[in-house]
Chain A
Amino acid sequence: MKGTHRLAIRGVVLVYLAILIGLPVVFLVVKAFQHGFGPFWSQITQPEALSALLLSVEVAAIAVPVNAIVGVGAAILIARHNFLGKRAFDTTFDIPVAVSPVILGVALVLAYSRIGWFGAPLARVGIMVLFSPLGITLATMAVSLPYVLRSIVPVLLEVGTEQEQAARTLGAGRLRSFFQVTLPSIRWAVMYGITLTIARTLGEFGAVLVVSGNISGRTQTLPIYIYDDWDQKFDVLGSYSDALILALMSVLVLGILAVLRKRERKLRVDLA
């Protein structure tokens, strides 16, 4: 490829990425610290911000393990077994990701809140879905559903069943074989999926926004707090500061993912 062509393409790409990603990120940092470190710090340590962060973490603490376990179980079913309706089963996991989070939020409200199908019976038992952490948790579990599953299935298929067969001939039962052979052989993929899930649960916005109602002073996760700061209170510094925190978390997540990818590759050295 000609030298000038190469430079031209490189140039176009660099300019595009600078406009789209580079400059905005730089200016986020600039804006967050535009009044110095002090105001930045006080913004992120405001009690409302901290309780929003706490709620985000609590919701993640439920959503991530549940989706991890479901992901592992479903992955084994999909990769190792054949059953009627497997294709539909597999596709269902992709629905929350293919659909707008706002639509998911509306769907959850129409299913479980008082104006929806099960709202009345649920309310009688004292379960409130709309405007509550329960609803937020449900929404978060839905949007972060398939990441663990999708990370694991290709690895399960690639690793194959020979190691488990070997374990069987050596006397291992199903449980031992699962915990000592199957799970370790996919552990980096599981970590990868869990990391993606964590990032997704901490960052979820649209579905949670719909489910948590529009009362100011509503139950807020951190993303909603950022939105309210900007949209309702016009407190841009607050938004910039907390957005930076979440952005840093994303960068951390990317770093972890890169490390996990390398570890996985080391294990996967061609064993032919």
Chain B
Amino acid sequence: MSISLSHLTKHYGKTHAVEDVSVEITHNSLTAILGPSGSGKSTLLKLISGLESPDTGTVTIDGEDMTHVDPRHRDIGFCFQNYAPFRHMNVAKNVAFGLKVRKRSSSEIETRVKELLALVRLEDKAKSFPSQLSGGERQRMALARALAIEPRVLLLDEPFGALDAVVRQELRQWVKELHAQMPVTTVLVTHDQQEAMEVADQLIVMRAGSVVQAGHPLALYESPATNFVHEFLGPSTMFLGEVTRPHDLELVSVYDGTAKGRIASIVSLGFEAQVTVELSDGTTTWVQLSRNELSKLGLRVALLVGVRRRADADF
């Protein structure tokens, strides 16, 4: 089900949470809305879900104008940042909730709940209560609950924000696999660019309520429209007045470089190294080298070097 947002605006008093946003989300895609906090991404998600109503603009899902339709009737699944579990119900009852609302038979509900719990690998926790689950398990339960009603759109509001790094990684992978298996138009909100890059096939970057750029993640990474996008999507440094990726720079002899300077510091991170260079024009830039390169070049602090763009760098 494709989603079409047209000129959406939402103000909370003086705050312009979402300002004239128009975006197309393709059918069955996994789209990530990426941006810093306060960029309006959560508000945009809530507008798609119907939990908030826009001041102006339209939300069209699968060709139907849903702008003023209650979330109950939009057939969307929503996962909250803090999972919003029904604390007084056990896992099975949580997952069954949407089905009960739709008045499915109890045998049908039982089967479906079992399927879903198996899907999210929580079969043995069916009778447990949310307070007895870990963060990752709660999020998986929330997903199962949202998927139970066979939504045409799945919305995830910073679903992995509250989890620790390892669990976050696992769940990220798992959502990607799940989406491959069971394609549903999915929209994920996050502030973690690595997450967005890993998981999404469509990326929407937001800042201060507006969409800055939208498209395929790699396209945005390689051809960022603005410095903001460039800096947000990956490591960046200033070189000769331009924002550049540190791994697009290389260190050469003083005569071969487009700029020269002294090495200020060398930080070895194991698999890569960051070399900071104070250039002759007074600016500082840093270059990312692989371990091999570092050992081959035999660098040390205060050495005079030249810096230039790599020949195979993407601009």
Contacts and interface: CB of A to CB of B under 8 A. Distances in A.
> When A and B assemble into the complex, do they touch directly, with CB atoms less than 8 Å apart?
yes
Interface of A: 162-163, 165-173, 176, 180-181, 184-185, 187, 266-267, 269, 271-272
A176 B101 contact: yes
B149 A181 contact: no
A165 B83 CA distance: 11
A67 B182 CA distance: 51
Interface in B118-136: 130-131
Contacts of A271: 82-83, 85, 87, 130-131, 138
B232 interface: no
A269 B98 CA distance: 25
B14 interface: no
Interface in B64-92: 70-74, 76-78, 80, 82-89
Nearest to A267: B87
Contacts of B8: none
Given A168-B70, A169-B78, A272-B162, A162 B97 contact: no
B51 interface: yes
A33 to B, nearest CB: 45
Interface in B144-199: 145-146, 149, 162
B288 interface: no
Given A165-B78, A267-B131, A271-B130, A173 B84 contact: no
B80 A167 contact: no
A78 to B, nearest CB: 21
Report the contact-size class of chain B (Cβ under 8 Å from the partner).
Answer: 20 to 34
B88 A169 contact: no
Interface string B41-77: 0000000011100000000000000000011111011
B102 interface: yes
Interface of A is mostly: helix
A176 B101 CA distance: 9
A170 B149 contact: yes
A267 B51 CA distance: 26
Contacts of B98: 170-171
B87 A185 contact: yes
A172 B86 contact: no
Given A165-B51, A267-B131, A272-B162, A173 B88 contact: no
21 contacts: A163-B87, A165-B78, A166-B78, A166-B145, A167-B97, A168-B51, A168-B71, A169-B146, A171-B98, A171-B101, A171-B149, A172-B72, A172-B97, A173-B72, A176-B101, A185-B86, A267-B88, A267-B131, A271-B82, A271-B85, A271-B138
B103 to A, nearest CB: 10
Given A184-B88, A267-B88, A162 B149 contact: no
A266 B132 CA distance: 10
B97 A169 contact: no
Nearest to A271: B82
4 smallest CB-CB distances across A and B, nearest first, come from: A170-B98, A162-B84, A269-B131, A171-B101
Contacts of B72: 168-169, 171-173
A61 B130 CA distance: 36
Given A168-B51, A170-B149, A269-B131, 20 more contacts: A166-B78, A166-B142, A166-B145, A167-B97, A168-B71, A169-B50, A169-B76, A169-B146, A170-B97, A170-B98, A170-B146, A171-B72, A171-B73, A171-B98, A181-B86, A184-B88, A184-B89, A185-B88, A271-B83, A271-B130
Given A162-B82, A165-B78, A170 B87 contact: no
B112 to A, nearest CB: 14
B84 A165 contact: yes
A166 B138 CA distance: 14
A171 B86 CA distance: 15
Contacts of B88: 184-185, 187, 267
A165 B72 CA distance: 10
